[in-house]
C-alpha cells in the first residue's frame, strides 16, 4: 500500500508541473522558439547589420530575425 501512495503522489506532482513547462512562454515553448530563431539562415547587408545588430544587440530577437546568427 505505501508504494501505491508514493506513485500516486509522484504522478500528481509530475502532472502539476506540466502547465508550467508546456504552456505558452513555458520552458518547452521558449526552447522551441530559440531553436527556430537559430535555424534562420538569412544574411543581411552591412547597413542592415548596423541598424539592427550594432552596439551589443547581436543576440536581440530583431537582429536574429533580420540577419540570422552572426
pLDDT tens by residue, 36-62: 777 766 678 888 888 888 888 888 888
* pLDDT tens profile 17-36: 666 666 677 777 888 888 87
Q: Quote the pTM value.
A: 0.37
Nearest alpha carbon to residue 70 among 47, 24, 38: 38
Q: Are 43 and 68 in contact (CB under 8 A)?
A: yes
Report d(CA 47, CA 66) in Å as an integer. Answer: 12
C-alpha cell at 66: 533580420
Instruction: Show me where the domains of the chain are located.
Output: 1-39, 42-70
Q: Rounded to whole angstroms, how far apart are CA atoms 44 and 31?
A: 25
How far is the C-alpha of 10 from the C-alpha of 7, rounded, in Å? 5
Amino acid at each position: 500500500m505505501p508504494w501505491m501512495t508514493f506513485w500516486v503522489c509522484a504522478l500528481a506532482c509530475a502532472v502539476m508541473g506540466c502547465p508550467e513547462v508546456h504552456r505558452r512562454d513555458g520552458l518547452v515553448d521558449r526552447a522551441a522558439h530559440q531553436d527556430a530563431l537559430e535555424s534562420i539562415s538569412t544574411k543581411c547587408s552591412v547597413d542592415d547589420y548596423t541598424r539592427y545588430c550594432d552596439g551589443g544587440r547581436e543576440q536581440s530577437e530583431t537582429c536574429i530575425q533580420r540577419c540570422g546568427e552572426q
